[in-house]
């Protein structure tokens, strides 16, 4: 029973450490590039509204692919587009509108009653939703990306690092003490 508990404890510690390192990597790379966090070539976007629920919940992080050809989208695709200069929106295409040389998309949030008031110009589409959603972690990433959140996150990371060093040092000291006792008993 003791061995199983110890293995479970080590496994949980390993998982938490891996998640910590992964989030640290994402946050640092996003801060360094000055843009959105990326992981394995996908941009990570935080969902701040419930317009796409229940499929995409508020507070989720979604993975999106950058757009190479906005003309290839069709009805049913979920796209991320610039609604204005400061705001990105992720909604589903309900209609493709050809207006001379311009292509526009009529969009609608899955949880909204009506289609969006303004069609989206193809040039304003920045990404396509990949179908990958991680619930609730968006709340955490938003907090970490704030000044106070980054400070707290770095503080927690420093504490965990120091605690790990202390734990390793203590384990090595116990092994050394046990070796010295065994040597003393042998002599």
- Asked if 38 and 30 count as a contact pair (C-beta separation under 8 A), the reply is yes
Give the residue numbers marked as catalytic.
Answer: 49
State the Cα–Cα distance between residues 74 and 89, nearest whole angstrom.
17
87: Cα separation from own chain's centroid? 18
Which residues lie below 8 Å from residue 110, measured CB to CB, with a gap of 6+?
51, 52, 53, 54, 55, 56, 92
- Strand ranges of the sheet holding 61-66, from the earlier edge strand across to the other edge: 38-39, 42-46, 61-66, 125-134, 78-84, 87-99, 102-108, 120-121
Please answer whether residues 133 and 56 qualify as being in contact, where contact means their C-beta atoms are separated by less than 8 angstroms: yes
H/E element, 61: strand 61-66
Dihedral of alpha carbons 30, 139, 93, 74, sign: positive
């Amino acid at each position: 029973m003791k061995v199983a508990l110890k293995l479970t404890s080590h496994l949980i510690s390993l998982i938490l450490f891996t998640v910590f390192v992964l989030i640290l990597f994402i946050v640092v790379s996003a801060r360094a590039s000055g843009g959105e966090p990326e992981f394995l070539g996908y941009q990570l976007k935080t969902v701040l509204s419930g317009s796409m629920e229940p499929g995409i919940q508020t507070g989720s992080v979604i993975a999106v692919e950058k757009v190479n050809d906005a003309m290839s989208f069709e009805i049913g695709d979920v796209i991320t587009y610039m609604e204005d200069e400061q705001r990105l929106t992720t909604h589903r295409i309900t209609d493709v509108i050809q207006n001379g040389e311009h292509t526009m998309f009529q969009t609608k949030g899955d949880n909204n009653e009506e289609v969006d008031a303004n069609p989206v110009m193809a040039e304003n589409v920045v990404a396509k939703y990949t179908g990958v959603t991680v619930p609730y972690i968006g709340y955490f990433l938003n907090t970490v990306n704030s000044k106070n959140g980054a400070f707290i996150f770095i503080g927690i990371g420093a504490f965990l690092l120091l605690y790990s060093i202390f734990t390793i040092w203590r384990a090595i000291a116990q092994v050394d003490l046990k070796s010295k006792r065994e040597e003393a008993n042998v002599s």
